[in-house]
């Protein structure tokens, strides 16, 4: 009878230990995931991917168009070239710069830089895509005021 009591005690102790290990592991995983999700690197990756998709969309859009990025981007610096878009924070090392590559159809150009501005716009004029700070409504030609996308 004493032997069966020891087995129940050991079984209960093992179950408690297993539960504690699972809880500690779950907490560690969620903690790491939370830190990763709120990191600047993740934000730069998301913004760079968004800009790449916006450029692809503008290429396929007939006529002229202006698209405003739906968020405050004042802490980032952007460089748009004919084959890539770069997002980084001024003063960070080269290894922290996020670059997304794309290819434009023949005859298309893409260019522009932006640093420390809260609003970012991509503007398509014929076969040029320009990254710049958004103009105020009074500065925009009337034909472009109606097609600005804001979120």
Q: What is the pLDDT of residue 37?
A: 59
Q: What is the pLDDT of residue 35?
A: 67
Q: What is the pLDDT of residue 105?
A: 93
Q: What is the pLDDT of residue 146?
A: 43
Provide the Cα torsion 46, 62, 119, 92; round to 10°. Answer: 40
Query: pLDDT for 29-61, tens place per residue?
Result: 888 777 665 588 889 999 999 999 999 999 998
Q: Return the structure tokens found at 85.
A: 């878009």
CA distance 118 to 120: 7
Q: What is the pLDDT of residue 144?
A: 45
Q: What is the pLDDT of residue 112?
A: 95
> What phi and psi values does residue 10 have, to the nearest 5 degrees?
-65, -40
Residues of the chain with pLDDT under 70: 1-5, 35-38, 136-151
Give SS3 for 118. coil
Q: What is the pLDDT of residue 36?
A: 64
% helix, strand, coil for the chain, step of 5: 45, 25, 30
Q: What is the pTM of this model?
A: 0.66
Q: 72, 104 in Cβ contact below 8 A?
A: no
Domain ranges, ordered by start, for the chain: 1-38, 40-145
């Amino acid at each position: 009878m004493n032997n069966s009591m020891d087995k129940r005690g050991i079984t209960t102790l093992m179950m408690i230990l297993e539960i504690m290990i699972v809880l500690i592991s779950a907490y560690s995983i969620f903690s790491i995931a939370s830190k990763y999700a709120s990191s600047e690197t993740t934000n730069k990756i998301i913004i760079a991917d968004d800009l790449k998709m916006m450029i692809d969309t503008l290429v396929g859009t007939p006529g002229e168009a202006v698209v405003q990025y739906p968020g405050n981007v004042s802490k980032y610096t952007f460089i748009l070239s004919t084959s890539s878009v770069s997002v980084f924070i001024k003063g960070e090392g080269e290894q922290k710069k996020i670059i997304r590559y794309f290819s434009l159809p023949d005859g298309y150009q893409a260019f522009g830089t932006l640093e420390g501005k809260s609003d970012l716009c991509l503007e398509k004029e014929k076969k040029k895509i320009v990254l710049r700070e958004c103009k105020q409504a009074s500065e925009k030609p009337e034909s472009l005021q109606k097609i600005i996308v804001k979120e």
